[in-house]
Amino acid sequence: GESVGLHLPTLSVQEGDNSIINCAYSNSASDYFIWYKQESGKGPQFIIDIRSNMDKRQGQRVTVLLNKTVKHLSLQIAATQPGDSAVYFCAEHSQPRDDKIIFGKGTRLHILP
């Protein structure tokens, strides 16, 4: 899910299908990760988090998977709805609740009718 140049990578998904958004994080010392959702004209909104002692965490319709071996994070959204259209950011802390988060550049999720 890293951006290239001025354009965000875009994932287009049919309404009702599952969405998987990927993120490669940079710091092997990071051990707390968050996914944010940003709708047009709004600030980023917390979706779900996961600590490095876990491989998977589930919320309502969302699941985050963490693979520390390859420094990869993914967000799965079940039964994608029109309201899921947004830009999704992964973020990492070098320690749990460190004073600064490092944000990825985001992936745009586009829902097809």
Do the Cβ atoms of 73 and 22 come closer than 8 Å? yes
List, in order, residues 6 or more apart from 106 with CB less than 8 Å away: 1, 3, 8, 38, 87, 88, 89
Residue of the chain from 5, 82, 83, 113 that contacts other proteins (CB under 8 A): 5
Residue of the chain from 10, 26, 28, 45 that contacts other proteins (CB under 8 A): 45
Least Å from the CB of residue 90 to other proteins = 11
Least Å from the CB of residue 44 to other proteins = 5
Q: Is 69 in the site for other proteins (CB under 8 A)?
A: no
Q: Is 113 in the site for other proteins (CB under 8 A)?
A: no
Q: Tokens representing 24?
A: 């490669």
Which 8-37 residues touch other proteins, going by CB under 8 A? Answer: 34, 36
Q: Is 100 in the site for other proteins (CB under 8 A)?
A: yes
Taking CA 81 as the corner, what is the angle to CA 78 and CA 83, rounded to the nearest 5 degrees? 125
Residue of the chain from 31, 104, 108, 109 that contacts other proteins (CB under 8 A): 104
Q: How far apart are CA 50 and CA 41, in angstroms?
A: 27
Q: How far apart are CA 24 and CA 74, in angstroms?
A: 9
Name the site residues for other proteins (rule: CB under 8 A).
3, 5-6, 34, 36, 41-46, 49, 89, 91, 97, 99-101, 103-106
